[in-house]
Amino acid sequence: MKNRTFAAHLYRLFRSPSLYICIVSYVLLLIVPMLRPNYLNNIVMSGLYRAQVSDFYFVLSAVIPALAYAVTYVDDYDTRMLYPWAVRSGARQYAVSYYLTALMGGFLVGFLGNAIYIGIHLLLGMELDAEIGWNHTAMYYQYDVIYDEGHIALYVFIILMEYALGAAAMAGISAMCSSLFHQRFATLAIPVFYFFMTDVYSKLAGVFSWPRLHKLLIPMYLAQDSFYLKNPSLNVLYKLLTVALHVIVCGYITVRHIERSVDNA
């Protein structure tokens, strides 16, 4: 991959207002659930967890990360700017650079959006976390050992990384849909449909004793905080494996289909 091609995509990402609008929108959608009556909003991490599983779940997880950059390919395809890009740098270099930038856009939205949310509430004097249940002090139980040992910054960082990696992976899924269908609606709607159908199947599997989906295939574990294993290190590794699986498969499909689009032009 030519560095100048990737640099050009990064320049488009950081120059575009979409990235910053997405980050602000992400923060606002996290805050909205806390405006409800009787909502417990005095604990920052509890509020973050509840906001992430709110009515805006699909938008937070799938739509906003895609809007940061993944939909850019649809614009390039529709305006035929794809072909000058391909002539200058080659179809593969364009495709790989576009895909990596889409991942980075989703990652930044997830990481900065959640970090800003936490920062705002800490500045308002709210408590980061509190005792919950019997022997848990951390809202995110899979990482309560880290919290109990006093590694607060690491505890927060890991949770931010969980959401950011999930947002990046969902942006990768959207980039794949963008390369397959060349439509904004498909780019944004199909990842949401993926969430919806796996959720419906999981509920029906419990009723009809159908085979359950492996956790690697459940987008909730991909996009939100994961709870594969109690051990924090192993849980993080499993999350990385889940993200890597989606990123590699979607990346391969994205690059192949963009190359095919250029060849068929």
- Interior/surface letters 86-123, b for 16+ CB within 10 angstroms, e for the rest: beebbbbbbbbbbbbbbbbbbbbbbbbbbbbbbeebee
Question: For 82, what's the count of Cα atoms within 13 Å in the CB-facing half-sphere?
Answer: 26
DSSP calls for 98-160: HHHHHHHHHHHHHHHHHHHHHHHHHHTT-BS---BTTTB-SSSGGGHHHHHTT-HHHHHHHHH
Closest CA to 176 of 106, 119, 251, 234: 251
Lowest-confidence pick of 7-16, 29-38, 68-77, 116-125: 29-38
For residues 134-145, give the mean pLDDT: 73
pTM given for the model: 0.93
- Structure tokens belonging to residue 88: 């200058």
**SS3 (DSSP) at 43:** strand
Closest CA to 243 of 203, 204, 215: 215
Instruction: Write down the pLDDT at residue 225.
Output: 87
Question: Phi then psi for 136, rounded to 5 degrees?
Answer: -115, 130
Q: Assess whether pLDDT exceeds 90 at residue 237.
A: yes
Distance CA 174, CA 246 (A): 11
Domain limits, the chain: 2-263
Mean pLDDT of the chain: 90
One-letter identity of residue 158: I
- Per-residue pLDDT tens digits for 63-106: 999 999 999 999 999 999 999 999 999 999 999 999 999 999 99
pLDDT category at 116 given cuts 50, 70, 90 is very high
Per cent of the chain over pLDDT 90 is: 62
Lowest-confidence pick of 65-79, 158-172, 220-234: 220-234
Instruction: Write down the pLDDT at residue 39.
Output: 59
